[in-house]
Amino acid sequence: MPILRRLANLFRRDKLQREIEAELAAHLAMRSEDNRAAGMSPREARRNAQLRFGNSASLTEKTMQADTALFLESLWLDTRFAMRQLRKSPGFAVIAVLMIAIGLGAATAIFAFVDAALIQPMPYKDPARLAAVYEVAEGCPLCNLSRQNWQDWRQTNTVFESFQAWGWASYLLRNSEGTTEARGARVSDGFFHTLGVIPVLGRDFYAGEEKPGATRTVLLSYSAWQKRFGSNPGVVGQSVRLSDNDYTIIGVLPREFHFAPLGEADFWTALNDLDSCEQRRGCHNLFGVARLKPGVTVAAAADAMRTMAAQLVVQYPDSNKGLSATAISLNDAIVGNMRPLLIALLCGSALLWIIASVNVISLLLIRSEGRRQEIAVRGALGASSGRLAWQFLLESFVLVTCGAACGIALAEITIRSMLHLIPTGRMDAMPYLLGLGLHSHAILFAASLACVSIIVCSLAPATRLASTFGGGSLHSGLAAGARGASGNTWRKLGARLVVVEVATAVILLAAAGLLGKSLFNLLHVDLGMQPDHLATLVVSAPKQVETDAQMMGLLRSLVDRVQSLPGVTRASVSSHLPDHDWDGGVMLVKPDDPPDKVPAPLPERDVSSSYLHTIGAQLLRGRYFTQEEDDASKPAIAIVNESLAKLYFPGQDPIGKRLAYMHSKNFMQIVGVVKDVKEGQMDTATRPVVYVPYMQGWSHSFYLVVRTATDAGAQLPTITAAVHGLNPLLATSDPVTMMTLINDSPSAYLHRSSAWVVGGFATLALLLSAVGLYGVIAYSVSQRRREIGVRMALGARRESVCYLVLREAGMLAAVGIAFGVIGSLCSATLIRSLLFGTQPWDVTTLLAVALLLAVCAFVASYIPARRAASLNPIEALRTE
C-alpha cells in the first residue's frame, strides 16, 4: 500500500537514495548513448546529457522530497540545520530572541488587560443588551435616580424589556467579636433576573418583594456565604440580624458574580425599606440598570429617556425642573475611564513591538550580508532560490518560536507585576481583572504576532536572495563575498529601518513625557488643605440613636474621646471626605432669585464644628463653626468656599448673605468663606461647595477625621479601639490615611499607571533604537573600511573621518526625530483624555524628547565613529 510504503521509506533512506541515483545514472547513460549515435564525441555527448538533466544532487533531493514521509524527515533535518546555524552565532541568537521576547511579551501582556476589560463579554446573560440609566443635571452628567422617577419611567417606557434600580447600603452585623460593618446593596426585585444571574442556592427575589412593608429577605454573596456562614448548605431559611432588623436568607449568589458599578457587597436586600429621603421625589439615591428590548440600541434608549424625563419636568416642575435622563451601555459604565488608558497602552506596546521587530530585521540583514558567499556557493551547487528561502524561513521559525516562548513567560510576569500596582480598593471597581492571565485570546494574539514576525523576519534574507540570484549574479556574489563587498543594499535598507525606530521611539517618549508631566501636575494640585497626618475611618451608629440629642451626645463623646488620645491633636466628623466622587448635590437659591430659576446642583458637606480646622482649610473671611452652633435647634448657618462665593455673590462680601435649598423658606446665613478645598477627584474642576453643621442633616454613618502629631497610619488601630471602647455597638470600617486616599484615588491611579507603563515602553524603545542606530553605523563603518583607508591615505584627518560617520548618524536621527514629532502630534490625540494641565502639543516636552534622542544618537554613533577614526589605512587597504 502507498501509505505503508512511504512510512517504510523512513527506514530505508540510504537505499532509496542509491536507487534514485542509479536510475538517474541510467537515464544519463541513455541520453549520452543517444548523443553519440547522433555523431557527438563521447566527452561532448556526456557533457550535453549532464546539461540537459541539470544538477544531479538537486534532482535527487527533489525526487526524495516528493515522498510525504521523506519530506517530513527532510523538514526535521532542515530544522536541525537551522538550529545549528543559530548555535554558530550565539550572540546574534540571544539578542534576537531577547528583542522578540520584549516586543511580543509587552504587547501580549497589555492585550490581556484589553481583552479582559473591552473584549471579553461581561458575566451576564446577553450583556450587549444591558444599559445603565442615569439622571442628568447641570454639572452632573451621570447622576443618581429618584425612586419616584424610576417607578414612573419603568411603567411608561417602551424601550426596556426590564428596568431595575439599585443603591448602596451598609449594615451593622453583630457577631461574637462585636459589631462590624458589612457592605451591601439594595436592589429591586427583578435586578438579578435582568442580569441573568441565578442563585447557586435558594431562590431570587419574588415579584413584589421590593414593595414597602414586604418581608425582609436577603441574598448572600458567595464570599459572605463562605466567610460568615462557613459554606453551610442549610443557610437558606435562616435569619440574620442586620442593623437591628431580622432578614431571612433566601439564597446564595454564584461565585463568579460581580457588579462592578457597585463594588464588593456581602448582603443584597430588596428595596422594601424606605427611609425618609426616598419618600420625596427630590431624593436621588438610586441607579438604574435595564435590559433593552430586541432591536433597540443604546442611543435610542437614551433618546427615549430624555423624552420621558422632559414629560416628568412638566408634571413635577418643583422637583424635576432642570433634570433630564440618559442611558449608556453597562460595559461603558463598568469600564469608564479605563478605556482610553487601555487603548493608549495597547498602541504603546504595538509601537514597542514594531521597534523590536525592526531591530531583529536589522540583525538578520547584517547576518545575511555576511552570508552572501554562502548563498552564492549553495546556488552554484544547484540550490534553488525557493530551497534557500525555505531554509531561511525555518531559521526564522526557530528564532521566533524561542522568542515567543520567552515572550509569553515575560508577559505572565508583566501581568502579575501590573496587577500588583493596582490598589486593593480599586480592584473592587475592576472585577473583570480578577483571574487575569494568559487565557486563550491572549495566547492566540501572541501566536498571531509570532506568525507575523516569522514572515517579516524571513523577508530579510529573502532580499539578499533576490540580489544574489537576480540577473544571473551568482558569479558576482561569489566574488563579492570573497573580497567583503560594501553592502550598499543593506546600508540603504538599514538606514530606513533606523529612521522608523527613531520615529517610533519619539512617539513613545513624547507620550511618556506628556503623561509624566500630567502626573506631576496632578500631584502638585493645590488641595486647599493639609492632607499629611490625617487619619480617617467610617463610623456607623446603631439604630437606637434616633433623636437629635442622642446623636449630638454621641458625636461629642466620640470626638472628645478620640481627641484625648496621645498623639492626636484634633478630631472631627464629616458626611463625606474630600476625595468623594460627587454624584448629585443640592440646589441653592438667594432671596432675590426669581421663582422659576433652576440653579446648578453643587456638593454639600455636613461637618462638625472643628472639621475645617482639622483638615487645615484656610479661612479667608468670617469664622468657623462653633460647637454650640452644631445643634439642629440653632439658626441655620453655612460656610461656603471661594468658588461658591464668586458664583453667587460676584464682587460682594458674602458674609451675612443668605442661601436656601430650592423650594425651602429656611434660609441659611453665611458666616465664613474658606479657600477652595479640592472636593472630588484631583483632575476635575474645582466645584462650589457649601458646608453646614452636621446636626442640620445628620445620618447614622459618617467619617471620623483625625489629625495626629505622629504617623497617621500608626494611630489608626488606636483610634479604632477608642471608638469601640466608647460604645460596643459602634461599627468601624475603611481605616485609611488621607495621603493614601489621595495617592490611591482613581484619578491618581489612572495617571500614575499610564505614566509608569508608557514610560517603561518608552525607555525600552529608546534603548532599542539606540542599539539599532549603533548597529547600522557600526556595520556601515565595517563595510567602508577600504573607502576610509583610501581617504586617510590621501591625507584625510581623523577628525574629518569621525565627522563623516557622525554626520551619517546625525542625518538618520534628524529624519527619524522629524517624523517622530509629526507622529507624536497625531498620536497625542489618543491620550488627550489622560492629560492634565498640559496640551498634546506641549513644546517643552517635544523639545526635551528631541534633545534626548539626539544625545542618545550621538552616544550610539560615537563609538563606531571613534573606531573609524582610529583605523590604520595600511591595514585597511591590505585586507582588500
Model pLDDT, residue 299: 93
CB 146 within 8 A of CB 283: yes
List, for residues 317-330, the tens digit of each pLDDT value. Answer: 878 877 899 999 98
Q: Pick 416 or 394 by higher pLDDT.
A: 416
Residue 34 to residues 22, 43, 54, 337: CA-CA distances in angstroms?
18, 13, 17, 84
Q: Which of 276, 256, 273 is nearest to 185 (CA)?
A: 273
The runs of H, that is alpha helices, within 566-639 are 611-615
Residues 6+ apart with CB under 8 A from 78: 390, 391, 394
> b/e string for 88-106 if b means 16 or more Cβ within 10 A?
eeeebbebbbbbbbbbbbb
Write out the three cell numbers for 254.
Answer: 454564584
For 683, residues 6+ apart whose C-beta sits below 8 A from its C-beta are 522, 747, 751, 836
CA proximity to 471, closest of 393, 385, 364: 385
pLDDT of 252 over the 90 cut:
yes
Other CB atoms within 10 A of residue 721 CB: 12
Q: In this predicted structure, what is the pLDDT of residue 250?
A: 92
**What are the tens digits of pLDDT across the range 10-61?**
445 555 566 666 666 666 677 777 677 777 777 776 776 666 665 555 555 5
The pLDDT, as a whole number, for residue 7 is 44
195 pLDDT above the threshold of 50: yes
What is the mean pLDDT of the segment spanning 646-672?
87
Secondary element (H or E) of residue 866? helix 843-869
What pLDDT score does 180 carry? 77
**What is the C-alpha separation between 325 and 329, in angstroms, rounded?**
14
> Which residue is listed with cell 540545520?
81
How many Å apart are CA 464 and CA 452, to the nearest integer? Answer: 20
Alpha helices in 316-439 (DSSP H): 317-320, 330-335, 338-370, 372-380, 385-420, 424-427
How far apart (Å, rounded) are the C-alpha atoms in residues 552 and 541?
12
Phi, psi of 765 (to 5 degrees): -65, -40
Rounded to whole angstroms, the Cα distance separating 54 from 48 reads 10
Give the SS3 label for residue 313: helix
Mapped onto helix, strand or coil, the DSSP state of residue 610 is coil
DSSP bridge partners of 289: 132, 164
- The C-alpha angle 440, 446, 452, rounded to 5 degrees, equals 135
Work out the average pLDDT over 392-405.
Answer: 80
Q: Is the pLDDT of residue 260 over 70?
A: yes
Whether 421 shows a pLDDT value over 80: the answer reads no
Mean per-residue pLDDT, 168-197: 83
Q: Would you place residue 298 in the very low, low, confident or very high pLDDT band (cuts 50, 70, 90)?
A: very high
CA distances from 11 to 4, 18, 765 (A): 12, 14, 51
Non-local CB neighbours of 770 within 8 Å, separated by 6+ positions: 856, 857, 859, 860
Statement: residue 629 has pLDDT above 50: yes
Q: How many angstroms separate the first and last alpha carbons of the chain?
A: 61
- Cell numbers for 602: 453643587
Cα Rg of the chain (Å, integer): 38
Q: Cα(219)–Cα(221) distance, rounded to whole angstroms?
A: 7
**Tens digits of residue pLDDT in 782-837:** 666 666 766 776 667 777 777 777 787 788 888 888 888 888 888 777 777 777 77
Distance of CA 120 to the CA centre of its chain: 15
- What is the DSSP secondary-structure string of 128-167? GGEEEEEEEETTEEEEPEEHHHHHHHHHH-SSEEEEEEEE
Mean pLDDT of 540-556: 82
- pLDDT over 60 (residue 422): yes
The residue length of the chain stands at: 880
Average pLDDT, the chain: 79
State the DSSP code for 433: G
> Looking at residues 289-316, what average pLDDT do you find?
91
DSSP conformation class of 567? T
**Averaged pLDDT, 543-555:** 81
